[in-house]
Amino acid sequence: MWHFRNIILVPSPPRGEGTGNVRVPDWVRSCYDGGLVHFSTPFLCGLVIKMSQPPILVKVHQNLGTISIHREEKRNALTRAMVFDLIQAFRDLHGERKVRAVVLTGGGSAFCSGLCLEEMNAIVKEDDNFDRWHQDTSSLAELLQLMLQFPKPIISAVNGPAMGFGAGLVLASDIVIAGPEATLGFPEPKRGIVSGLCTPLLHFRTGGRHAARLLLTGETITAERAVQIGAYDEIIPTKNLWAYAAELTKQIAQSAPQAIQLTKKHLNETVGEQLEMLISLGAAASATSRTTEAAKEGLAAFVEKREPEWK
């Protein structure tokens, strides 16, 4: 599966005779599966595509699909564009018949630190920005609902901190394995905004008491504590996460695909419609909270690396 982003066309080395094929160099194959790409368009014949690693990288290895988040310099904070890419990634893997499970993970030392607050700080300064916020939170709700409705098991391999909406991605997964350094938290109120999208999922996975403490204090908990309250399933050495996810996929693949799909549907249907409705309501609450003076102050304080001054 190939996603062409940030492409640069450069002349290819001499080709074998009678082909429209271009061999992908080793430095590309290190990030992408495959060796040959066929171009039927005459203009593209004789050119190779040089690709920088996209922030959302999708791979398929045998019956396992992998979606990894790569914005390591910002601890994998999600931009608006990356959210759309995640939606598309799940849609793409939905259509891959050989894929029996999908692993979601992060590059570097973090899983996902949430949404890009620098980007949000720029939007919060705009006049009449409610429509922008509504569009953004609707997209976030779409992503979570897509994960809940996804017909194949989603395994979150939490390699590092999962914060804010990053923690929401974990909670929308079916199985969660985490490394020892995989802390979890919902710091949104400290930024003047509401974690409306993740609240229903946190309540669903951990119960009302644990959800209330995490959301009202904004505290960050350890991986061990996350297992105790039900946010994570188990802790695995970080270096073994992918191998363990592959082993889980082997176990899943022993069952009929239709049976797994119906089982997942039944698991989520116990609260399905109500949960999706609450996520949609949470999206509206999140959008509204981002139009407030508190949001302006909280986001500005984060960007300026100072403590917020609440009024």
Same domain, yes or no, for 21 and 107? Answer: no
Same domain, yes or no, for 114 and 190? Answer: yes
Same domain, yes or no, for 34 and 72? Answer: no
Same domain, yes or no, for 128 and 207? Answer: yes
309 occurs within a structural domain: no
95 occurs within a structural domain: yes
Same domain, yes or no, for 225 and 124? Answer: yes
Same domain, yes or no, for 96 and 42? Answer: no
Query: What residue numbers bound the domain in which 36 lies?
Result: 7-51
Q: What is the pLDDT of residue 51?
A: 53
**22, 36 Cβ separation under 8 angstroms:** yes
Same domain, yes or no, for 95 and 19? Answer: no
Q: What is the pLDDT of residue 9?
A: 35
| Annotation marks residue 96 as catalytic | no
**70, 56 Cβ separation under 8 angstroms:** yes
Instruction: Walk along the chain (311 residues) in steps of 10 and give the mean pLDDT of each run.
Output: 38 39 34 36 41 87 96 97 98 94 97 97 87 94 96 98 99 98 98 96 96 97 99 98 96 96 85 84 95 96 96 87
308 occurs within a structural domain: no
2 occurs within a structural domain: no
Same domain, yes or no, for 62 and 171? Answer: yes
311 occurs within a structural domain: no
From 72, 126, 188, 224, active-site residue? 188
Same domain, yes or no, for 205 and 156? Answer: yes
Residue 143 belongs to domain with CATH number: 3.90.226.10
210 occurs within a structural domain: yes
Domain boundary residue, one of 51, 69, 86: 51
Same domain, yes or no, for 24 and 107? Answer: no
**69, 76 Cβ separation under 8 angstroms:** yes
Q: What is the pLDDT of residue 14?
A: 41
1 occurs within a structural domain: no
214 occurs within a structural domain: yes
Same domain, yes or no, for 181 and 34? Answer: no
What's the whole-model pTM score? Answer: 0.83
Q: What is the pLDDT of residue 272?
A: 65
Same domain, yes or no, for 37 and 123? Answer: no
Number of domains in the chain: 2
